[in-house]
């Protein structure tokens, strides 16, 4: 059955559905020689080009070998940015990733330049979109070193919800991670991926996160034997667990 153009191209790794919408609006995508429209649907026999480059359509039926997405895990070190290019010449998280024969790596969420930890990539735009969209409530867990120890009333407020500049936000859970001296560790879970959300939540209570490490995204956790800068491809059962989430 024909599928919406955004869904098909996202599944082929062209980019997110929002990115594809932008290409359509700019007139850069053609279907069978005509400029694509947002409501177009594609079947396997259609000819699709982006900037005159042919995009091969493979069968997208769920469960076929061609439709299985690749998922790459990366232990992001501090100092790298989550962008394909940087005008300032800083190293990006895409710099050392293996090359794909087809499509491109799409980052599932982001980490700011001063954060480290688990970052996932996929060649399937639909999977990336589903794992990032707030409506799907995919858990992100972080180990956070806070300068100072939070009082119970502050922790209660963070669990109940506080108003940030982009709306109400909260931690789904907070676990004490111990610590000595002024610094104290907490393990926190959020269900969205807003910009600097974890840091801003702590700052709302007058506390600053001096170190932040993402240790889990959905069903995928950061292995203890991995080191910053390493990447590894998820096994099929791990990918299936992500798909089911």
Known catalytic residues? 112
Torsion-angle region of 124 (φ positive above 0: left; ψ -120 to 50: alpha; else: beta): beta
> Taking the CB of residue 166, how many other CB atoms lie within 10 A of it?
10
Helix, coil or strand: residue 244: helix
Exposed/middle/buried for 28, CB within 10 Å: 0-12, 13-18, 19+?
middle
Pairing of strands 48-50, 29-31: antiparallel
Helix, coil or strand: residue 130: helix
Q: CA triplet 215, 101, 220: central angle to 5 degrees?
A: 15
Run of H or E residues at 97 = none
Q: How many residues does the chain have?
A: 245
* Gap between the Cα atoms of 16 and 210, Å rounded: 32
* Gap between the Cα atoms of 90 and 83, Å rounded: 10
* Gap between the Cα atoms of 28 and 49, Å rounded: 8
CB 118 within 8 A of CB 222: yes
End-to-end CA distance of the chain: 25
């Amino acid at each position: 059955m024909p599928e919406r153009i955004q869904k098909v191209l996202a599944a082929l790794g062209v980019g997110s559905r929002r990115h594809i919408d932008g290409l359509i609006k700019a007139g850069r995508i053609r279907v069978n020689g005509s400029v694509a429209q947002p409501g177009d649907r594609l079947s396997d026999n259609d000819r699709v080009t982006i900037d005159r480059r042919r995009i091969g359509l493979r069968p997208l039926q769920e469960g076929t070998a061609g439709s299985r997405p690749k998922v790459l895990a990366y232990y992001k070190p501090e100092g790298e940015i989550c962008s394909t290019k940087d005008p300032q010449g800083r190293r990006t998280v895409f710099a050392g990733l293996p090359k794909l024969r087809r499509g491109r790596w799409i980052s599932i969420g982001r980490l700011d330049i001063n954060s480290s930890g688990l970052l996932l990539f996929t060649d399937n735009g639909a999977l990336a979109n589903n794992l990032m969209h707030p409506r799907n409530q995919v858990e992100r867990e972080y180990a956070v070193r806070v300068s100072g120890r939070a009082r119970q009333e502050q922790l209660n407020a963070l669990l109940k919800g506080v108003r940030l500049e982009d709306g109400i936000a909260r931690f789904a859970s907070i676990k004490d991670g111990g610590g000595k001296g002024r610094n104290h560790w907490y393990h926190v879970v959020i269900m969205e991926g807003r910009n600097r959300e974890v840091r801003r939540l702590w700052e709302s209570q007058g506390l600053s996160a001096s170190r932040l490490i993402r240790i889990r995204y959905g069903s995928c956790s950061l292995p203890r034997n991995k080191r910053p800068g390493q990447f590894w491809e998820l096994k099929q059962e791990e990918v299936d667990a992500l798909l089911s989430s």
